[in-house]
Amino acid sequence: MASLPKTMKGVWIEKPGGTEVLQYRTDIPVPEPKDGEVLVKNEFIGINYIDTYFRTGLYPPPHYPYILGRECSGTVVALGPNTPSDLSLNTRVVYTGQYAYAEYTPVSANYTIPIPDSISSKDATAAILQALTALTLIREAHPVKKGDWVLVTAAAGGVGLWLCQLLKAVGARTIATASTAEKRELAKKNGAEALLEYHDEDREKFVGKVLEITGGEGVAVAFDSVGKATFDAVLKTVKRKGSMVSFGNSSGAVDPFTIGRLSAKNVKLLRPTLFNYIVTREELQQYAAELWEFITKDKMDVRIHDVYPLKDVVRAHQDIESRKTTGKLLLQP
Ligand code: NDP
């Protein structure tokens, strides 16, 4: 085992709040891997919208101080007891888990997989959480069929661009919403067929446009990550026996919902999270294998918005919250 330093760089929070609670530190003790864990020396850290929920307390962290960050790539530098043989020392890996905003992270082997030679560490990090979210949504939340009309909100964001590409690959027809013309153009380049503004001032206009595009029927499934601001209008765009998949809160948490509203069109309502689709290592391996295949065989565009040094974490949170990013923002320790 390589000799490891005693302390490391990392970003933690001691209380919920705005970006002012993000503390970049150089004195965090290097953790040791426990049973079933490997210690990873991080190379690229992925920024996800969920990081802002843990920072603000919308999703309460399990303890304070709390190191943010849900995904990363790097190299295995130490093994805890009972780790699988494909995670030996020096293996290049990508993981979804906790405590990624740091130089070293102990991660459960369940959530850690080797990166194939054909995929760069940067691309693997950019893909693992957002692309797997998109993949599990179209396979499990609502198994999308060829020819289905699908609505995707925030379509030029991290998860959004993956949804556009994967939906195109499976033969679905995507209606994409995004806040600027440039973002909508990017969604189109990534496979969206019809482009829409949110029509913030007139949600009925938005609903009408979706119905018009789909010949009056509505979409087979709507994937909405914007949440509070769009939920009601998006629900109205779903056709009879279709699915409303609400998977994010970028504009705030969806208001409490009266279940009886679903009977108007026998719509299925889901609120899934990636982490409950990849609970076992087998599930993660199966979805990751399918994802690597999509990236290499279908030549999917892994869009990296930018790479910032870890110490610029405040800028990273500000950029994602102010809707400035398209695709993936990464940090480097
Ligand atoms: P994005 O890169 O998509 O960034 C969020 C986007 O949301 C913005 O770019 C913006 O796009 C849009 N948006 C709309 N309204 C607002 C608002 N009021 N404030 C900020 N942004 C707004 O982030 P991610 O790809 O990381 O995540 C997308 C969503 O998916 C998040 O809500 C996240 O929580 C959710 N998610 C859920 C997962 C799950 O397992 N359930 C897993 C991963 C992500 P525009 O300007 O075009 O509207």
Decide whether any atom of ligand 1 lies within 6 Å of the 321 Cβ.
yes
ipTM beyond cut 0.95:
yes
What's this model's pTM, rounded to 2 decimal places? 0.95
Confidence class for position 328, pLDDT limits 50, 70, 90: very high
Q: Is 273 in the pocket of ligand 1 (CB under 6 A)?
A: yes
Atom of ligand 1 nearest to the CA of 158: 25
**CA 53 to ligand 1: nearest atom:** 34
pLDDT of 146 over the 70 cut = yes
Residue 270 pLDDT grade (very low, low, confident, very high; cuts 50, 70, 90): very high
- Evaluate: CB of 153 within 6 angstroms of ligand 1: no
Identify the band that residue 299 occupies on the pLDDT scale cut at 50, 70 and 90.
confident
2 pLDDT above the threshold of 70: no
Whether residue 187 has its Cβ less than 6 Å from ligand 1: no
Q: Spell out the domains of the chain, with CATH numbers in brackets.
A: 7-115+303-332 (3.90.180.10), 130-275 (3.40.50.720)
Question: Using one digit for the tens of pLDDT, what is the confidence trace for 48-98?
Answer: 999 999 999 999 999 999 999 999 999 999 999 999 999 999 999 999 999
Helix (H) or strand (E) holding 151: strand 149-152
Q: Which atom of ligand 1 is nearest to the CA of 322?
A: 20
Q: Is 159 touching ligand 1 by the criterion CB < 6 Å?
A: yes
